[in-house]
Structure 1
Amino acid sequence: MKYEKLATLIIENIGGKENINSLMHCTTRLRFKLKDEKQANTDFLKEADGIVTVVQSGGQYQVVIGNHVADVYSAINQLAGITGEEEESDTSKGSPLDRFIDMISGIFAPALGLLAATGMIKGLLSLFLTFGWLADSSGTYIILNALGDSFFYFLPIMLGYTASLKFKVNPFLGMVIGASLVYPSIVGLSPMAMAAAGAEPLYTLFAGTIFASPVYITFLGIPVIMMSYSSSVIPIIIAIWFASKVEPVFKKVIPDVVKTFLVPFCSALVIVPITFIVIGPISTWVGDALGAGSLAVYEFSPILAGIAIGALWQILVIFGLHWGLVPIAILNISTIGYDPILVLMTASTFAQIGAVLAVMMRTKDKKVKGLGASSFISGIFGVTEPAIYGITLPRKKPFIASCIASAVGGGIIGVAGTKGFIVGGLGLFSLPSLIDPKEGINGSFYGVIIAVIVAFVLGWLLTLIMDKSHKDEHIAVTESTTTATTVNEERIGSPLTGTMRELSGISDEVFASGAMGNGVAIIPTLGELVAPAKGEVTLVFPTGHAIGMQTIVGAEILMHIGMDTVELDGKYFTVHVEKGAEVEKGDLLVSFDIAAIEAAGYQIITPVIVTNTSSYTQVRAIAEGEVKTGDNIILVN
């Protein structure tokens, strides 16, 4: 397998396959549910090649991979022997918001790719009709339109499957419940269809109130308030949750010999009628209320709504909170035919790639340029995580610039009154879904085009202005000469006073094998760890036993005091700097008690690793024996 090595590294550093409850993936991320997130070596994973970053949010342990996430996902499934289905776990852990986001993402993430794909087909058909490239009576249009409509129309069946996996229900039972909601004769009993056919209701429940509901059929004499469930979201999710309470009861009371058919038989006979009689109407009213509430907030001030969602969208993406807006958009489209809320984030994608372009133009670092190019291409098609985690967020100011540009773009979209008529693709592919199917390309569509262009240009310009002081490369000057060396060459000083050893002699195989990069080991005789060069502190372990920094020339250095000293949980270590601190060579980073650490049974030998070894032609030791802090010990070029 091409990604076997990366998959193995991930499995080993999330606590092994035994620590995995479930695994799924979205466009760029592996989304783990771990039994114990404390077992994961998060800081190591963040720095590993092939991994953009790690995000812990919504009860999920998210490893951001980028465009190759599907391949890595397959490799992990094969190596760990897992299916992606969740094992028994305590779902009560985490805040209510965490549990809600976890539920929504767990239900929608597996379906989002196909929902977007079919939406893109619908969007392109709208474009073809607008320009007269296809007629709506042609066979080509009819077949493609059926393909584009299929997923959204039969959404209850699709969500019946994914929600069943989430709530641990027989997935075929979930699909049957969803299929019952969109069965043709049931669809024909919706109030709109019955009114169009001129049918008279048997009677009207709640007459004279906002909940007035005509009744056309009964079930065992019980009135059934029929709703339109095509493309609906909330009724099927609540029905599957209800199924997760009913099905286990029948599994307990029905003998094993007949469980295969009697459990689904009894479950379906109970769940489907109750869904139509109680769950469907009530959840539909709740959905209508949520949609009306979101529209009320939007209509209060479309400009402010656009600015707020535009500014916050990328932050929501980082924490996975953007999932909360997806069901609202689907609700609005299914009930009123359009959604003005989710569309407000359209410009954020282009603001992000504008900032990436500015970073690419300024940097001379080939690695940054390469990552920037792939992030830019991904961003064009709406996948911004590589750009966020790989380029803009680590530099801070480009990320801030993109948020400002996105807010301006969102405000313009709000002014234009742009609406989304389809849950379509992302980035460029999202634009056709914003074409009004009745009016075609109108002022609101031109408004979003203007917003996208403004956000892109503003993200690019603000990054050039705000990030002017950031340098990816500097000219290094050694102590022995005033002649500038190449940008790729640097001499790293010793962060400790002590005795140097070869890295291969360390008992920890991860360090000794060079898996984390080349470097040296030092047995300290003085309990002070200092900055080996001028640069920025990029990593401070909470326990104080390890510090990471990037020199102004670009070397990324990890200093790990002792072996397995993380187990001391910070005892005997005092940290003197914070992450993000600018330090000079020789500045005190950590002080530690050598005698106490050794008395506790831990080796004090300290690896000093250049973690971005692959960026250099060579990383080698240039000293041996006894060294003092500040002595040059490693050459990188």
Structure 2
Amino acid sequence: MKHQEIAEKLITLLGGKENVISAAHCATRLRLVIDDESKIDKEAIEELDEVKGAFSTSGQFQIIFGTGTVNKVFTHFAPLAGVVSETEEEAGKKISHNEAAKKKLNPFARFARTLSNIFVPIIPAIVAAGMLMGLLGLMRTYNWVDPESGLFIMLDMFSSAAFIILPILIGFSAAKEFGGTPYLGAVIGGIMTHPALLNPWGLANAEPATLDFLGFGVEMLGYQGTVIPVLLTVYMMSLIEKALRKVVPNMVDLLVTPFLTVIFTGFIAMLVVGPLGRALGNGLTTTLDFLYHTVGPFAGLIFGGLYSTIVLTGVHHSFHAIEAELLIAVGGNFLLPIWAMANVAQGGATLAVFFKTRNKKMKGIALPAAVSAFLGITEPAIFGVNLRYRRPFIAAAIGGGLGGFYVVFTQVMANGIGLTGIPMFAIAQDPLNYGIGFLIAVVTAFVGAWVLGWKE
């Protein structure tokens, strides 16, 4: 009955059932798309039992409950709010939650959300590959295993597989997000990584052959490990597929539409979009690499200090694509350690609030929020604690900036994307200096929050 009562009170405090357009939940938060947010009684919601904070961002009003609790509340909340299942959404009975949320965003935020939706499902594969790379690095450094042994060679195969077929993974996920057929997106990714094309993975000095096609010289170079080319190509594929479905008769749609879509998109990929995307990706990574090796530490100071503020806008979701491109082109992700410093600094500031506050409910929120931030999930710390009191958020920005300065100064890189905080030790190329940066960020944020203080 406890969670039933919370759900019933939420409906009232949110302005009624008719004010809730759609709802979903993640691991810790209830995510709501609201018709008129002025009708929400935010302060009363934050006073409810089990609620650790509430905030509005990325077109959604989000209520923090914590792991486990949010599932129980959503079970009771969904029927009261008239929320439908994903199956019913796909059947067209109601607009999907993601689509409803996107309509609330400005174009730039919508673009960032789209990239996030494409890359978040792929992150586990990249994380697994990154951890394997870290393990191989330790084996090679400390001579645990002979690099010529069967074990090492097989693990090396396992670690590189995700990056070699990355265009296929992105093709599937991007087609799904762009409204195309996911398996056609995977086929396009397969075309761009076909064995007939030279695999550039680890072959920086190799020269590809050139194919004569109607007078055009087509460079037979594959797109293994690339990001931008396949994103642009699958976007074009989705537009072509949608256009064809409007004109192809239903009777032959299953045969004709995929056939023409693959042919048209394949030519576009090889002749236009692929080479253009490769140039854009190379230009982006070259620019970032230049900044990293010239003004790196100061860039780390600025980005580490501002990253949590960027999180408030939701634009940080677009960084996954840039990080994936860097990971392949540079051999490591130097942005992720900076983001990690900002995240753990939020945990340090929240920990200071836990020890200093006299508010019992805030103590109950602050400790799990700090632990969550140390594990890489910062929303409970940012929105549930630090932004409420403001000064701890400023202290966290200072800690994130100093930590970011240190990890860039010592050239700490990661073997993957997505993991920050304590879990990032598994994919950090230099765990020792990453740990030192971690401590700098946390201690600075803790001391800063304690000294700056706040009004209860």
Instruction: Give the alignment's TM-score, normalised by structure 1.
Output: 0.61
Superposed CA offset, 1:275-306 (max 9, x none): 11111100110111111222233334112201
- Taking the aligned partners of 2:155 and 2:365, their CA distance within structure 1 comes to 37
- 1:417 is aligned to 411
- 1:82 is aligned to 86
Matched, 1:316 2:313: no
Q: Is the 8 A contact 1:353 1:380 kept in 2?
A: yes
Matched, 1:253 2:224: no
- Taking the aligned partners of 2:255 and 2:103, their CA distance within structure 1 comes to 31
- Taking the aligned partners of 1:222 and 1:2, their CA distance within structure 2 comes to 69
Following superposition of structure 1 onto structure 2, how do residues 269-308 of structure 1 map, counting pairs within 5 Å? 269-308=263-302
Matched, 1:338 2:328: no
Superposed CA offset, 1:93-148 (max 9, x none): 75332232122222223333443344334334434544455554555555554444
Following superposition of structure 1 onto structure 2, how do residues 616-627 of structure 1 map, counting pairs within 5 Å? none
Note closer, same or farther for the CA distance 1:347–1:173 as it changes in structure 2 (3 Å cut). Answer: same
Q: Is the 8 A contact 1:160 1:236 kept in 2?
A: yes
Superposed CA offset, 1:40-85 (max 9, x none): 8544495354454444444455554543498479858896222576
2:395 to 401, 406, 416: 401
RMSD (CA atoms): 3.7
Between 346-355 and 140-149, the greater mean CA deviation after superposition: 140-149
Note closer, same or farther for the CA distance 1:470–1:40 as it changes in structure 2 (3 Å cut). Answer: closer
Following superposition of structure 1 onto structure 2, how do residues 598-613 of structure 1 map, counting pairs within 5 Å? none
Q: Is the 8 A contact 1:25 1:69 kept in 2?
A: no
- Taking the aligned partners of 2:184 and 2:3, their CA distance within structure 1 comes to 36
Larger radius of gyration: 1
- 1:186 is aligned to 197
1:172 to 183, 192, 209: 183
- Taking the aligned partners of 2:231 and 2:324, their CA distance within structure 1 comes to 13
Number of residues of Structure 1 aligned to a counterpart in Structure 2: 442
Question: What secondary structure is seen at the aligned counterpart in 2 of 1:223?
Answer: strand
- 2:434 is aligned to 448
Q: Percent identity?
A: 29
- 1:67 is aligned to 67
Note closer, same or farther for the CA distance 1:399–1:295 as it changes in structure 2 (3 Å cut). Answer: same
Q: Is the 8 A contact 1:239 1:275 kept in 2?
A: yes
Q: Which runs of no fewer than 5 residues in structure 1 stay unpaired?
A: 200-213, 436-440, 472-637
1:466 to 443, 452, 455: 452
1:348 to 335, 342, 345: 342
- 2:36 is aligned to 38
- How many Å apart are 1:29 and its aligned residue? 4.8
Following superposition of structure 1 onto structure 2, how do residues 89-488 of structure 1 map, counting pairs within 5 Å? 94-137=105-148, 140-188=151-199, 190=200, 196=206, 215-219=209-213, 222-423=216-417, 425-435=419-429, 441=430, 446-467=432-453, 470-471=455-456
Superposed CA offset, 1:458-517 (max 9, x none): 1121222111x645xxxxxxxxxxxxxxxxxxxxxxxxxxxxxxxxxxxxxxxxxxxxxx
Residue type matched to 2:190 in 1?
A: A
Residue type matched to 2:84 in 1?
A: A
Residue type matched to 2:355 in 1?
A: M
- How many Å apart are 1:366 and its aligned residue? 4.0
Q: Is the 8 A contact 1:352 1:402 kept in 2?
A: yes
- How many Å apart are 1:168 and its aligned residue? 0.6
Residue type matched to 1:38 in 2?
A: D
- Taking the aligned partners of 2:74 and 2:311, their CA distance within structure 1 comes to 24
Q: Is the 8 A contact 1:11 1:80 kept in 2?
A: no
Question: What secondary structure is seen at the aligned counterpart in 2 of 1:184?
Answer: coil
- Taking the aligned partners of 1:41 and 1:396, their CA distance within structure 2 comes to 25
Q: Is the 8 A contact 1:397 1:466 kept in 2?
A: yes
Note closer, same or farther for the CA distance 1:40–1:416 as it changes in structure 2 (3 Å cut). Answer: same
- Taking the aligned partners of 2:419 and 2:282, their CA distance within structure 1 comes to 25
Question: What secondary structure is seen at the aligned counterpart in 2 of 1:186?
Answer: coil
Q: Is the 8 A contact 1:28 1:385 kept in 2?
A: no
Q: Is the 8 A contact 1:25 1:109 kept in 2?
A: no
Residue type matched to 2:117 in 1?
A: G
Residue type matched to 1:67 in 2?
A: T
Q: Is the 8 A contact 1:382 1:428 kept in 2?
A: yes
Q: Is the 8 A contact 2:118 2:170 kept in 1?
A: yes
Between 371-380 and 274-283, the greater mean CA deviation after superposition: 371-380
Structure with a larger share of its residues in helix: 2
Note closer, same or farther for the CA distance 1:60–1:292 as it changes in structure 2 (3 Å cut). Answer: farther
Superposed CA offset, 1:345-404 (max 9, x none): 222232222222222222344433332232232222211211222222212221111111
Note closer, same or farther for the CA distance 1:119–1:41 as it changes in structure 2 (3 Å cut). Answer: farther
Q: Is the 8 A contact 1:233 1:330 kept in 2?
A: yes
